[in-house]
Amino acid sequence: MVTVDGGWPGPSARERRKVAGLLGAWSQGSGDAAGVTIVDGLIASACPDEMEYAALARQAPWVLLHMPFRDEPAKERRALAAAAGIICPSVTGAREIQALHGLTSVVAVPGTEPAPVAEGSTPPHLAMVAALHPNKAQLLAVRALALVADQPWTASLVGSGGMDPDYAAAVETEINRLGLGGRVRMTDELTGSALAAEWHRSNLTLLVSRSETFGLAVTESLARAIPVVVRAGTGAEEALTLGTPDGGIAPGAAVELVHGPGEEDPEPLADALRTWLDEPEVRERWRSAALKSRGRLPGWDATALAVLAAVTRGVAPAAACAAGGG
């Protein structure tokens, strides 16, 4: 594992040169790389020249692309075209890459660590585990919670406010404006026993990001038998149904939400929350489905085997597994 410091996704020329050296771009076309190199998509997409130099030197690396870099698609397209292949974490992500760049990808679904079953709380406790950022839509969640304030519940927003301090401040202001200061807690980022305790007291998780390639918070929640409400049409919905057989009951709900600029309507999310809060049979059905999903989630060994199978086949982008395959 090699850590590359830098201002990603906007590295300096010196930082890009370091990446080029690590990728073997100056190897004079020997093709004698020691093993297979896999580079994070955030780095690769910012270094198209260096990726192309490495390919010319017959040292083309694979790219692990968590999500497309939409700010500069032309640069990313060049970098990915120069790669030995692309690995992404979901069918949803692979379809986005296909649509944006015309390249197919190998899908290696992230694994999930086993975890104890959450006990939950009375009144019900809801958790939203994500950095405070406009894409994660905490403002939408807070406004939806305000619409069900007549019901008993508590909630936590678990995530760093450092990625977008202005947005974090706006979320805190909205919580207070809506009179939810005593019910919605902003914890900042939690790790270790503090995060484990937050999971253990939770009855429901929310992940309503505008764009989500997969959503590890979803499978981490299901590993604890906690149902999840997600935004429909995102990779979070794919993660929600990962452990659900065809025709089975999903461990939560995928809510259709307006995806676009400006303020989003919180009513659909509030309706889903109210149904869960009002109807004990819904809570029991989702919880039971989450318990069943918990035993079906793939581990990291399955992820490693999928990646190993891809890189040892030497699949190039034009011939890699289609978006629907692994």
Is 85 in a helix, a strand, or coil?
strand
pLDDT category of residue 106 using cuts at 50, 70 and 90: very high
Q: What percent of the chain has pLDDT over 90?
A: 82
**Dist CA 26 CA 57 (whole Å):** 7
Please tell me the distance from the alpha carbon of residue 173 to that of residue 190, in angstroms, as a whole number.
21
Look up residue 298 and give its DSSP letter.
-
Per-residue model confidence (pLDDT) at position 263: 77
Contact 109, 213 (CB under 8 A): no
257 CA to centre of own chain: 18
**Residues 107-143 pLDDT 10s:** 999 999 999 999 999 999 999 999 999 999 999 999 9
Strands across the sheet containing 252-255: 184-186, 154-158, 125-129, 204-207, 228-231, 252-255
At which residue do the structure tokens 């590993």 appear? 223
* pTM as predicted: 0.88
175-204 pLDDT tens trace: 999 999 999 999 999 999 999 999 999 999
Question: Is the pLDDT confidence value at 317 over 80?
Answer: no
The DSSP result for 248-287, as a single string, is SPPSEEEE----SSSPPP-HHHHHHHHHHHH-HHHHHHHH
Least confident of 206-210, 260-264, 281-285: 260-264
Buried b (16+ CB within 10 A) or exposed e, 186-224: beeebeeeebeebbbebbbbbbbbbbbbbbbbbbbbbbb
Residue 70 — very low, low, confident or very high, per pLDDT cuts 50/70/90? confident
Distance (Å, whole) CA 85 – CA 316? 5
pLDDT for 28 equals: 62
Distance of CA 82 to the CA centre of its chain: 25
pLDDT given for residue 118 in this prediction: 98
* Predicted local distance difference test score (pLDDT) of residue 36: 87
Query: Alpha-carbon distance 19 to 21, whole Å?
Result: 5
pLDDT value of position 34: 55
Answer whether 198's CB lies under 8 Å from 210's CB: no
The pLDDT of residue 32 is above 60: no
State the pLDDT confidence band at 285, using cuts at 50, 70 and 90: very high
Closest CA to 190 of 129, 126, 138: 129
Question: pLDDT: is 33 or 186 the higher one?
Answer: 186
Neighbour tally for 124: CB within 10 Å: 18
pLDDT of the residue at 318: 34
Name the pLDDT band for 324 (thresholds 50, 70, 90).
Answer: very low
What is the distance between the alpha carbons of residues 73 and 260, in angstroms, rounded to a whole number? 19
pLDDT at 233: 92
- Report residue 107 as tokens: 């899908």
The rounded mean pLDDT for the chain is 91
Per residue in 137-170, pLDDT (tens digit) is: 999 999 999 999 999 999 999 999 999 999 999 9
CA atoms of 269 and 220, how far apart (whole Å): 21
Q: Which of 84, 65, 313 shows the shortest CA–CA distance to 213?
A: 65
Which domains are delineated in the chain?
13-111+300-319 (3.40.50.2000), 125-294 (3.40.50.2000)
Q: Which of 77, 87, 33, 69 is nearest to 51 (CA)?
A: 77
